[in-house]
Amino acid sequence: MNPENKLPVLDCISDEMRAALNANQDDLPPWPPADDFSAMRQHYLHERRFWNIDAPLMTTREYAIPGAYGELITRLYCPVPESKATLFYLHGGGFILGNLDTHDRIMRLLANYTQCTVIGIDYSLSPEARFPQAIEETVAASRYFHQHADDYQLNMTQVGFAGDSAGAMLALASVLWMRDKHITCGRVAGVLLWYGLYGLQDSPSRRLLGGVWDGLTREDLRMYEDAYLRHADDRESPYYCLFNNDLTRDVPPCFIAGAEFDPLIDDSRLLFQTLQAHRQPCEYKMYPGTLHSFLHCSRVMKTADDALRDGARFFTSQL
């Protein structure tokens, strides 16, 4: 597509999204080269510290547990002594960035709004760890806590999975993996998916949107994909292109959130349309004026806080 035909995104976003985009971080260095993953991770961690300030206080516990590929770090957010359910959270970052600290505020707010224990899983990043390792680690962690629920004072009778961006794909892929392989870790009451990618290789939104403001040009998306997947054939795996899986049966209730000016929004729209057409329980909500990753900006964006509250409401309504 001729670049001149792309939508003028920065002229269309909401005032609060623009304020978040222009938030002044004087000590933030320029974005590193695309092949320096270590520098990119440090930059991402540094930038996210600003957005994690003033998160709700609650009891947190961190544990190293046995995973599918060795030790795995997890963090438990415990807003109340007696939780109605346990919600596993997978952070975004294009499979190559992010950790428990970059998404700390999101997990704290989600725990606060659901009044459920949230467990963040620090899955291994790509390209050092490639598909499907992060999925296998997520499944291993959920099984471990299910088997040792009493040791960690967890209510694992009802569970959920949640994530943003790449974490949304990992959340839904892990649920489908467990369904297909008959793995049980408690009743999966709901799946919360904020602006995920679910396997489309092309779409109108991917052509019309994405730029330097969100780091999601078509070249960026291919870079993330190439770092995550082992080889080209993985693009058609039912645990990467989730539309190649069976979405007609036994999909837990899904809350699907889209950002209006996100190049990945067509993934969310199609997921919702597919589940709805096959009478799988789901809800879709599009947040006007927003960009990909807006969930981080709840310090200054009511819309971001609303999106977390909406997901929390959906989850608790399924319990």
- Lowest average pLDDT, out of 17-26, 58-67, 81-90, 181-190, goes to 17-26
C-beta separation of 94 from 226 below 8 A: no
What is the structure's pLDDT at 51?
95
Percent of the chain scoring above 70 in pLDDT: 100
Number of Cβ atoms within 10 Å of the Cβ of 3: 7
User: Which is it for the CA torsion 181, 159, 77, 42, positive or negative?
Assistant: positive
Active-site hit among 122, 214, 268, 292: 292
pLDDT confidence of 4, banded at 50, 70, 90? confident
pLDDT digits (tens, 9 = 90+) for 13-23: 999 999 999 98
Active-site annotation holds for 262: yes
First to last CA, the chain: 46
Burial (CB count <10 Å: 0-12, 13-18, 19+), residue 66? exposed
Distance in angstroms (rounded) separating the CA atoms of residues 191 and 145: 18
Active-site hit among 262, 266, 267, 310: 262
| Residue of 5 and 319 predicted with greater confidence | 319
Tokens of 285: 């909500």
Strands 70-78 and 117-121: antiparallel
pLDDT greater than 80 at residue 279: yes
Residue of 314, 297, 296 whose CA lies nearest to 91 = 296
* Mean pLDDT of all residues in 101-121: 98
pLDDT digits (tens, 9 = 90+) for 290-305: 999 999 999 999 999 9
Active-site hit among 165, 205, 293, 298: 165
Number of H helices, E strands in the chain: 10, 8
Tokens of 264: 């990945």
pLDDT confidence of 109, banded at 50, 70, 90? very high
Active-site annotation holds for 151: no
3-state secondary structure of 163: strand
Taking the CA of residue 318 as centre, how many other CA atoms within 13 Å lie in the half-sphere pointing to its CB? 28
What is the structure's pLDDT at 25?
75
pLDDT digits (tens, 9 = 90+) for 72-83: 999 999 999 999
What is the structure's pLDDT at 32?
85
Average pLDDT, the chain: 96
The one-character DSSP state at 68 is B
What is the structure's pLDDT at 5?
86
pLDDT greater than 90 at residue 28: no
Instruction: Beginning with the edge strand found earlier in the chain, give each strand of the sheet holding 59-67 in spatial order.
Output: 59-67, 70-78, 117-121, 86-90, 158-164, 187-194, 254-259, 282-287
pLDDT digits (tens, 9 = 90+) for 44-67: 999 999 999 999 999 999 999 998
What is the structure's pLDDT at 84?
96
Residue of 240, 244, 251 whose CA lies nearest to 276 = 251
Tokens of 266: 């067509």
Distance in angstroms (rounded) separating the CA atoms of residues 301 and 272: 25
Whole-Å CA distances, 169 to 54, 83, 163: 28, 26, 8
* Mean pLDDT of all residues in 259-266: 98
Residue type at 43?
A: H
Active-site annotation holds for 165: yes
What is the structure's pLDDT at 31?
83
Residues 6+ apart with CB under 8 A from 181: none
Residue of 170, 172, 174, 171 whose CA lies nearest to 183 = 174
Taken as a whole, the chain contains a residue count of: 319
Distance in angstroms (rounded) separating the CA atoms of residues 183 and 161: 15
